[in-house]
Amino acid sequence: MQLKVLNPGDFIYLNKSYLDIYDEMTNADYRVLVTFTSQFTGKAKTVSPSTNYTNKERYIVIGIWTTRDADQENLISGVIQLGTTDFPLGFYDVVIYQNNDNTNLDTTGLPVIWNGIMNLSGYSTATQSVTYTEYTTNDSDTESIYLTNTAI
């Protein structure tokens, strides 16, 4: 999967994924549930995206709206806040569940219908996936190692 997110302060961005997973389902009466787990931070969020079964013999369409603004997030309506410190740009583990209710966000006991990876990137090329820190001092200690990923 590939999701994009707009810059902070912009509105939400619609991402569509076309997946051939209908054969794994026993009940298509509800929207699926999708859990994203950041490979960088280990934090997870579950969202209930729009789900279109019109061409189910070939694929189902999953629509997820991404935002960077917390006040726009509505996980039941398919709007998820990503591109933050806890949910940065980069790779995510993805689990898609068959849901049993359109108002449910609890994955406990739900059948898993797809496992995969998602790459979250900025919509514009001006958005960096990593914030770089410039070192302004010339350290004479040449045996030092600078860890820039503090989540390790």
Judged against a pLDDT cut of 80, whether residue 32 lies above it is answered with yes
- Number of residues assigned to the chain: 152
pLDDT for residue 148? 57
Tens-digit pLDDT profile for residues 59-106:
999 999 999 999 999 999 999 999 999 999 999 999 999 999 999 999
- Cα angle vertex 19, ends 68, 114, to 5°? 85
pTM of the model: 0.80
